Each structure stands twice: as C-alpha cells, then as structure tokens.
Structure 1
Amino acid sequence: MESSVVLTGCTVVDGRVLDGTGPLPGAGVWVRGERIAAVGPAAEVTAAARAAGDVREIDLGGAYVTPGLVNMHTHLSLSLPGRAGDALKDMGPYDLALYMADGARRTLLCGVTTVRCVAEKDHADFALRRAIAAGHVPGPRIYTAGRALVCTGGHGHEGSDTLECDGADGMRRGVRSQVKAGADLIKIMISGGIAGEHEQIATRQLFSDELRAAIETAHSWGRKVTAHAGPARVVAEAVELGLDCVEHGYQLTEPVTALMAGRGTALVPTLLVTRCESFFAELGVPEWMRRRSLDAGPRHLESYAMALAAGVEVLLGSDMPPFWPFEGTNATVRELEHMSGNGLGPARALYAATLGPVRWLGAEADLGTIEPGKYADLVAMDADPLAATSAFRGVRWVMRGGTVVRDDATGWAVP
C-alpha cells in the first residue's frame, strides 16, 4: 500500500504567484506515494485524506512550503585549478562515484531536489542518476549534459568532464556521443572563461560552422543546448543559430540581451563565480584565476542588469557545488540571494529557482509547482520567501518524492 500523508500548519507558495495564484495560508497538502493528491484548506484536505483510508498527519508549525529548489548549473565532480582540484582529478572511478554520491546527498539535504549537471567526469553522472532513481543512494533528480563539448585546448579541456571536438563533423559526433550515453541536453564551450589559464574570457573558441552543427544536431535529437559563454559577439551568433541558454554571460550588451529576450534564450548568470574569493582560497586556486574572477565581477553584474531590463528569462545556477557551505548558507541559496538583491526581487527569484527551470527542462507536468499530480518535492522554512529570499537560509524540512529526507524538528536527515 502506498504511503499517505497530509501536511498541515503551513502556507503554500510557488512560482505561480507571478500569475496571481496564491499564496495559500492555512493550507493542507495531501501526498499519496510520490505525488501530491490534493492541495487546499487544511480541514478539507485532511477530511478527504481520512475518508480515503489511513493517513499520517505532519504539522509543519506555521512554515512556508515551496517546491524544492532547482539548480541549473551543477558540477558534482568540479575540479578547479589548484590543490583541491588536483586531489579530485587523482581519484579513481570508484572514489569519484562515491564522492559524487555524497555530494548528491548533501545537495538534497539543503533543499535542492533537482539539478542540471553541465559537465561531469567520466560519465559518472549517468551511473549516479540511475542509482538515485533506483533508490540505492539519496539525491536530487538529475538532468545532465554528460561531457561538455570543447574545441581542442578549449575551456575545460584538461578534465574528463569535457570532450574535445573540432570542425562541424566533430561537433556532430560529439553531440551524438552524449545523446548515445543518455544526455538530456548538450553543453558547448563557445568562449574562454575564468578557469582557463591560457585563454581570456573573451577568447572565441568555436567557429560558425561548429556552432551551427552542434545546435542543429542537438535540436534534431530533441535536446536543448546551453553554452558556457562570456563575450557578447559570440553569444549573439549562437543565439541567432538557436542557442537555448547562456551560462555566465560575463560581457553581454543591450543589443544582445534584447536578442536573447526576443529569441527566448535563457540566462543562468552564476553571479557567485565572480564574487567567491573565500571559496577560491579554500580550494587553493592560483592567483591568476582569483584575480580574473574578481576583476570580472563589476562587468558581470552590468550584464545581469541588462538581461533583467531586456526581459531575459533568468534561472538559478550556482556553478559552485550546490551544497557548499558559503557565507553563512549554501552556494545555491547565496546565488539566489545575489540574483534577488541585484534586481530580480523575491517573487521572481522564487520562480527562477523552481518553475522557471522546470519549464526550461520540459518537466512542468511533474515538477515546479505544488499542485495535484506533481511529484511531492517540497521544502519548508519559517520565514516568508516572498518577503525576502534569505528565507531559504532557514530551510528546515525537505521532502523528495513523498519521502521526508530532512526534518530539523526531529533531527532526522537521510544518512
């Protein structure tokens, strides 16, 4: 018999507030098995659940309940230049799998119930996705690009989380190889970035025929394409060719953000990566990388402001491991705070962390809102996330697929 539980003592709020729906105070949420069966006034929902048979009731003590967070720029096998990155690169396949599984568990416990991996080592992400789906290890739902496609010597070429491809034919083969492995989307590196020693952020790394081949091939297989990208000129060309999402966007311009908005190209700004000096110090990254990151910060914020002004869809993504303790919270929440505080605001930040990413992933039939039929991926906190995004610092209860994986009131957390 499938489990049945009713959540009471809560206010339900999700990204539909931008459309005028909710919040719903005094709510009840009935969860049967993995999915939500009913949402409404607590008394009505509880009565319906009781009439259907045995039901367990959980009083959340006045909490605000939102959908679980979605982190759209995740690397569970991240290895930056420096001491910590070198240690991770030296891991064997079994060590790496266990390291990533631990990261997945920690990600889930901080309230991130879905991730989009955008370059992972050795295709270990596919094994991890299968293990989580089978219930062997706890973790978020995983959508993954497999290995990112780069030109020879391009951004990130040093690791096994990328695949070097040259020319249009090489890009086509690269896309097909990741689809064959099980990729849900394709990631391409179209410019330099912060972590490449022998490049600059503005360094162009793919030519027009390579861009076109990668995007057309991915789209022919029903896969969206996201691109690590910094400079406006190469972003504009990729968007014209059908690019679905831009990662970082360090050096955008008003014409380019207008083009992105008009074409429906999303932006995952990853604002943390140009304002995380303490994180870099912790990992022992070299001085050239630390300097490049911090120097890019002001222009990065200008690009983000241009994107907001143009109406570009912005989505949450930390680049740092989602669970990483950072500035009094975790990297996911700190990124969302930066997005909110630099012009997005709390209501749109909630959307950018839940329903917006889910719509990009094409998963809105199952995720993103608190509605009957959706998976019961939920988090609870005491403060109102519509009043301040910092409310997510207080996540104290997490449910994934109808199973409580964290409850601070009882001290329970999935091992």
Structure 2
Amino acid sequence: MGDEGGRAAERVILNCTVTDGRTAEGAEPIRDAAVLVRGERIAAAGPRAEVLARAPGAARVDLGGAYLTPGLVNMHTHLSLSLPGPGGEGVKALGPHDLALYMADGARRTLHCGVTTVRCVAEKDHADFALRRAIEAGRVPGPRIHTAGRALVCTGGHGHEGADTLECDGPEEFRRGVRAQIKAGADLVKVMISGGIAGEHERIDTPQLFADEMAAVIETAHAWGRKVTAHAGPAPVIAEAVKLGLDCVEHGYQLTPDVAAAMAQQGTALVPTLVVTRCKAFFDELGVPAWMQERSLGAGPRHLESYAMALAEGVTVLLGSDMPPFWSFEGTNATVRELEHMAENGLGPAGALRAATLGPARWLGAEADVGAVEPGRYADLIAMDDDPLASASAFRGVRWVMKGGEIVRDDTASRP
C-alpha cells in the first residue's frame, strides 16, 4: 500500500473517495481524492491534483480505491462493563492492576475497529482517567477518551452494585457527586434517573431521582461547563429532565411523540443503543441470567418505536453501543452492528455516518478536532472497500485505521 505505519512528518493519502457526515447535510463525496497529513492533523483534503501540488515530496499512502471517512465516535462506552452473570463477575473480581490492563486491551481493540474517539459513561474506580493519560502519553494504543468518570445514582439505584457508580441522595449529595467527578477530570457527567434492564430489583420505568436531585446535577455540571447525559427509559422521567436542561438521553426505551418533540426543541440528543435489546448471543456468552435477558429482549419492539418517534420529531441521534465497542458480534463488532440498526430503522446510511462522526463531535465540543475530513482536524481516518453512503454495513470492511497521523492498522501491509 506504499509507506509504512507510524507517523511521518508529511504524507499524502491518495487513490480514495473521501466522504464524511457532511454528506447528510448536502455535501458531495470527493472522488479521486487525496488528503495531506502533517504531523497529527489534516493539512488539506480535496481533488488529488490539487492536494499533490501542495506537497509534491510528501510520502504517499495508496489506499487502492478505498472509501475514506473520519474515524468512528462511540458515545456510549463501558471498557469495564460487568453485567450480571459469570462473565461480569469475572470483571468485578479484577484487582486494580488487572483492571487497568483489561481496559487497555479493550482500548486497543476498539481503536483497531476504527473507533478513534469514545465517550465513557461509567467506568470502575476512575481507571478511565489513568487509561486516558496513558493513551495521550503514547504508552498504550487507544481512542481519544471523553469520560464521565463514575455515574451518579441514588442509593440502590441503577448500577449501584459496581465501582463504576457513586451513590448519592438529596440535592447536596448529588452536587458533591458532580464536583467529585469533575475534580477527577471528568469531561461530562452521567446520571441514572430511572431503572433499566440490568437491575434485578427495578423496572425500566422506575423513577429513581426526584426533580430537585436532577436539577442539582444539571445545574452544577452546567456551572462547571460540563454537559449531562442520563440513563433513562420512561417518557415522564425524561420529560422532567429535559425541562431542567438535560443534554442527552441514553437508551430512551419508552419515548412518546410529545417527549421526543420536547427533546428536539430543547436540543437534547439521544444515544439509542438499539443493540442492547437485541443481543441474546452476547448475553449467552456472558452467562447473563434469564430475568435480565427477558427484560432486555422484551423491551426491543417498544425500543424501536421510541427510536422511530425520535427520528420523526427531528431529535439528534448519536452512535453508542453500550456493549464494549470492539466486541465480536453477529459477524462484525458491536459498534458497527449498532450503526447498522440505526441506519436500517430509519436513519439511512448518510444519517448513520453523521451520527457516528460529525454529530458526536459537535455534542462533545470537539468539532475543531474530530468528526470530519477537513483541514485542521486530527488525522483520525479509516478506510474500507465498500461505499458507506450505500450501506452502513460498509464499516464491516474497515481495513485501514489512522489516528493522529499514525497508521495503527493496515490489513494490506503484510500482503505480497
């Protein structure tokens, strides 16, 4: 494929079609394109002749006619996930050193899948901050990490059993919980405001925070310049949080058209995580108990209805798998399988590409750095042979990954 891995001072990527999430907003793909990368960032992107004229002596990377897109952004990630059952118990039993290595391995695998940025929304023992520092220092490979630290829950609330949550009660404790995550280095705040599929002694529609507690979380986080995302299932609970200024909903299993309309008007995004209510093989692999499987899979039809309502009302939807992003599942990885569900159930391929790249970048406030193939942004790029604007399943064929100007995966490198 020409050129070897690693980061060159200047290189030109050519023999490709460049496309990104802006196609959902009317932009056209660039065919016979080239991308000039200097150091970590994109210096130029456009027709091949124009780009080559700017750097005639740059090293060349020939993608062999591939489609080139920004790296994917997974907005609902748990690198230390431990569901009920033997598989999850094994993760819970890891000591701090083992946990760090376990998460580092997951980060490497995530990056190699073509996910170059993640938003962690509850990780154990603040190990995510150490992992982020290690990745930024170049000690371990992995995606760019935006993290909430530990999620905030009421006593006995959703996810309270693990070291990835912090139990709080009353407005003052929730304020303290927000500040504790920000002190540790959190980029955003995650709060559990209803029950879910993984809590044995709750229902999806169980309200878990009072309005004054939700208000305390949102007000405090916003005062510190952090957005808030909420694990939430039922429409009434979501409606109340949206009125208080919630920035994002995770799952949204039981939306109504009115609540979806309120989300769209407020600018509250939705990370639907459709795959979590249609993943029996994953549950079986981890030994997830029957009660959770039944609750999850039983919620599937209503979950899709909620998603359709969100799309119909114009809610911004963003890619997030909840399952570990790299997990091998139904012939691909969990990230791509989620993206396929989003595309096939009303979003379409162009919308899915935006939901996996530019949309998340905007929500994260990282639009200057990631999410598009554009000068000034990091050279976080992936390549595949099939057209992602024809089908989201094209991402099953990711064969080349660059992060920050460094080639971290090249499936053709060892071919004769």
Fold shared per TM-score above 0.5? yes
Once the two structures are TM-superposed, the CA of residue 2 in structure 1 deviates from its matched residue by: 5.9
Residue 13 of structure 1 pairs with residue 19 of structure 2:
yes
Equivalent-residue separation in structure 1 for 2:84 and 2:318 (angstroms): 26
Deviations 1:50-86 (A, max 9, x none): 2xxx421011010000000000000000000000100
SS across alignment from 1:26: strand
Question: Within 5 Å, which residues of 2 pair with 1:61-210?
Answer: 61-210=64-213
Aligned to 1:31: 37
Once the two structures are TM-superposed, the CA of residue 21 in structure 1 deviates from its matched residue by: 1.6
Gaps of 5+ in 2: 1-6
Deviations 1:145-169 (A, max 9, x none): 0000000000000000000000000
Q: Which amino acid in the other structure matches residue 397 of structure 2?
A: G
For these two proteins, the number of residue pairs brought into alignment is: 409
Match for residue 298 of structure 2 among 286, 295, 298: 295
Aligned to 1:22: 28
Gaps of 5+ in 1: none
Question: Within 5 Å, which residues of 2 pair with 1:327-406?
Answer: 327-406=330-409
Percent of pairs with identical residues: 76
Are 1:6 and 1:30, in contact at CA under 8 Å, matched by a contact in 2? Answer: yes
Aligned to 1:56: 59
Equivalent-residue separation in structure 2 for 1:20 and 1:335 (angstroms): 24
Aligned to 1:247: 250
SS across alignment from 1:98: helix
Are 1:5 and 1:32, in contact at CA under 8 Å, matched by a contact in 2? Answer: yes
Aligned to 1:273: 276
SS across alignment from 1:371: coil
Q: Which amino acid in the other structure matches residue 309 of structure 1?
A: A
Q: TM-score, normalised by structure 1?
A: 0.98
Answer with 156-165 or 2-11: which moved more: 2-11
Once the two structures are TM-superposed, the CA of residue 42 in structure 1 deviates from its matched residue by: 1.0
SS across alignment from 1:29: strand
Equivalent-residue separation in structure 2 for 1:84 and 1:160 (angstroms): 16
Once the two structures are TM-superposed, the CA of residue 3 in structure 1 deviates from its matched residue by: 1.4
Are 1:350 and 1:385, in contact at CA under 8 Å, matched by a contact in 2? Answer: yes
Q: Which amino acid in the other structure matches residue 400 of structure 1?
A: K
Are 2:233 and 2:254, in contact at CA under 8 Å, matched by a contact in 1? Answer: yes
Equivalent-residue separation in structure 2 for 1:217 and 1:39 (angstroms): 41
Equivalent-residue separation in structure 1 for 2:383 and 2:253 (angstroms): 33
Aligned to 2:52: 46
Once the two structures are TM-superposed, the CA of residue 41 in structure 1 deviates from its matched residue by: 1.4
Are 1:376 and 1:402, in contact at CA under 8 Å, matched by a contact in 2? Answer: yes
Equivalent-residue separation in structure 2 for 1:272 and 1:371 (angstroms): 31
Are 2:20 and 2:354, in contact at CA under 8 Å, matched by a contact in 1? Answer: yes
Equivalent-residue separation in structure 2 for 1:219 and 1:202 (angstroms): 26
Q: TM-score, normalised by structure 2?
A: 0.97
Once the two structures are TM-superposed, the CA of residue 410 in structure 1 deviates from its matched residue by: 1.1
Are 1:250 and 1:300, in contact at CA under 8 Å, matched by a contact in 2? Answer: yes
Query: Residues 411 and 125 from structure 1, CA distance in 2 versus in 1: closer, same or farther, beyond 3 angstroms?
Result: farther
Are 1:12 and 1:22, in contact at CA under 8 Å, matched by a contact in 2? Answer: no
SS across alignment from 2:299: helix
Residue 237 of structure 1 pairs with residue 240 of structure 2:
yes
Equivalent-residue separation in structure 1 for 2:141 and 2:24 (angstroms): 32
Are 1:77 and 1:96, in contact at CA under 8 Å, matched by a contact in 2? Answer: yes
Once the two structures are TM-superposed, the CA of residue 22 in structure 1 deviates from its matched residue by: 2.0
Deviations 1:198-225 (A, max 9, x none): 0000000000110000000000000000
Deviations 1:219-254 (A, max 9, x none): 000000000000000000000000000000001101
Residue 316 of structure 1 pairs with residue 319 of structure 2:
yes
Deviations 1:381-412 (A, max 9, x none): 00000011100000000000000000011149
- RMSD between aligned residues: 1.0
Are 2:187 and 2:226, in contact at CA under 8 Å, matched by a contact in 1? Answer: yes
Are 2:8 and 2:405, in contact at CA under 8 Å, matched by a contact in 1? Answer: no
Equivalent-residue separation in structure 1 for 2:382 and 2:34 (angstroms): 14
SS across alignment from 1:194: coil
Once the two structures are TM-superposed, the CA of residue 346 in structure 1 deviates from its matched residue by: 0.3
Equivalent-residue separation in structure 1 for 2:350 and 2:405 (angstroms): 25
Q: Which amino acid in the other structure matches residue 378 of structure 1?
A: L
Equivalent-residue separation in structure 2 for 1:239 and 1:44 (angstroms): 47
Query: Which structure 1 residue ranges, 4+ long, deviate > 6 Å from structure 2?
Result: none
Equivalent-residue separation in structure 2 for 1:283 and 1:265 (angstroms): 33
